[in-house]
Structure 1
């Protein structure tokens, strides 16, 4: 049975301020809404954060993302539903989220720089880092989605 854990936003609301600021800045970055949401959903799936997966899938659907693409995210490498640019972003999301396995490969990094340029690569990396922070908070405090979010 799940034991209640602290709500960091209530216990230490100032701790959330820089994360909210980063998230806000990323919504105004070179990333499209769709790209940002793909990063958030895929990162959350990898990290097993049910709260974030539910929240970002709901947001993506509300913003017009196709459900078949969302369902294909865990299998994006075998799926025909993502553009070459999205595939680079998803590969970066996986490598940076699983950073301890082998880091962000030079090959993928160079492909991203060639495709997007330095500013967008910086935005992609920061978006991946941002969702990983949220996921770690969610997992450490056992946040779960509300049943009414369905």
Structure 2
């Protein structure tokens, strides 16, 4: 598939806002690896090959196991994820589908403060924007280097 637009060079002004959101989320109390797991899971659901390449590399570099990466799409059927991670993944999937039932909210509240839930929701929103940009413009996966975008 041929890339349509290199939005990373042609959309630099627009991307400043997204990078600002990313900078804010880096300061969040939500662990970096948990944010990366959410990015990876939402990118699986949204079928964004570029983001899957990027976030799998970032997760591996941070010490994530192959077993957890391979099992992420079936996280409910595994014992590899902590209760906090499971609550985050359930929340992320529900937000991504624009339907957050009360039981998922209640479980998320056990593991996350109000501010963290806002940040987790923003994390889902941000990866959705990145997924849509990469999918719309056919960003070619495979060349991402760990830490490439800071």
Distance in 2 (alpha carbons) for counterparts of 1:66 and 1:146: 20
The structure with the largest helix share of the pair is 1
Q: Which string of whole-angstrom CA distances, capped at 9 and with x for unpartnered residues, describes residues 110-138 of structure 1?
A: 22123212011111111111111100111
User: Which runs of 5 or more structure 2 residues have no equivalent in the other structure?
Assistant: 146-150
Distance in 2 (alpha carbons) for counterparts of 1:31 and 1:121: 9
Please list, as runs of the form range in 1=range in 2, the aligned pairs for 1:124-135 lying within 5 A after superposition: 124-135=120-131
Q: CA deviation at 1:109?
A: 1.3
Q: CA deviation at 1:148?
A: 7.7
1:33 aligns with: 32
2:148 aligns with: none
Normalized against structure 2, the TM-score is what? 0.90
1:57 aligns with: 56
- For the 8 Å contact 2:42–2:96, the answer to whether it is kept is yes
Q: Does 1:17 align with 2:13?
A: no
* 2-11 or 29-38, which deviates more: 2-11
Dislocated runs of 4+, deviation >2 Å: 146-149
- For the 8 Å contact 2:53–2:144, the answer to whether it is kept is no
- For the 8 Å contact 1:9–1:15, the answer to whether it is kept is no
Aligned residues: 145
Q: Which string of whole-angstrom CA distances, capped at 9 and with x for unpartnered residues, describes residues 44-88 of structure 1?
A: 000000000010000110011111101100000000100111111
